Amino acid sequence: MKNRVITISREFGSGGRTIGRQTAERLGIPCYDSELIDKIAEKSGFAKEYIAEKGEYSAKGGWFASAFSDRTFNGTSNQDYLWIVQRDIILELAQKESCVIVGRCADYLLKDVADCLTVFVHADIQKRAERIVKRYGETSQTPEKRLKDKDKRRSTYYRFYTDRDWGAVQNYHLAMDSGVLGIEKCVEIITGAAKRS
């Protein structure tokens, strides 16, 4: 039987990472989030900060910048190389064990190869703004501006590498508003749904 893999895609500040971690705990399986970055760093040689940024976000400037920045003479970029390394690691993990994977287009990468439950977590901008200020503190940018920038670059990255729309309801088995439902209820729903088969 295939391993059961839960992928959590999330809007920045929606608590998706916390939901992923608690779901994994509840199910007694590992959660790959920062652990994924460690693995990618080890295999690729890139710095962890670089991976955290470039493995999920388009370059500032949108699709055009993402498509053409850092290209070498043979047409690949550092970001493409990183994409390949993280794709291979995600595929290996799904092959090895049941787990939760947060972000990094895992929903797309695993859709045809694993027994996946794909989840999208979102919340309205006010709720997310409160959360990021509490978690990461204030910066010179307003929290709303930070969120919009992050969402846009995450969505552009996803679009560029998967040719699908990030957050389109059809791409996910479950989508939930963590701002309304609360973290605990989201964990409960995903845990219940994952036990299905």
# of chain residues touching its own copies (CB under 8 A) = 22
User: Cβ distance 100 to 19 under 8 Å?
Assistant: no
180: amino acid identity, one letter: V
Residue 10: exposure state from Cβ atoms within 10 A (0-12, 13-18, ≥19): buried
Instruction: Note whether 6 binds its own copies by CB under 8 A.
Output: no
* Binding residue (CB under 8 A) for its own copies from 99, 109, 147, 176: 176
Q: Which stretch binds its own copies (CB under 8 A): 47-55, 63-71, 84-92, 175-183?
A: 175-183
Binding mask 83-122 for its own copies (x = CB under 8 A): -------------------------------------x-x
Instruction: Note whether 196 binds its own copies by CB under 8 A.
Output: yes
Instruction: Note whether 10 binds its own copies by CB under 8 A.
Output: no
User: Cβ distance 55 to 104 under 8 Å?
Assistant: yes
Shortest distance (Å) from residue 182 CB to its own copies: 7
Q: Give residues 124-163 in contact with its own copies (rule: CB under 8 A).
A: 124
Structure-derived torsion over alpha carbons of residues 179, 185, 187, 190, reported in degrees to the nearest 10 = -100
From residue 45, alpha-carbon distances to 22, 38, 99 in Å are 30, 10, 25
Measured from the CB atom, the residue of 12 and 172 that comes closer to its own copies is: 172
From residue 181, alpha-carbon distances to 131, 172, 174, 189, 191 in Å are 15, 18, 13, 10, 15
Point out which residues bind its own copies (CB under 8 A): 120, 122, 124, 167-170, 172-177, 180-182, 185, 188-189, 192-193, 196
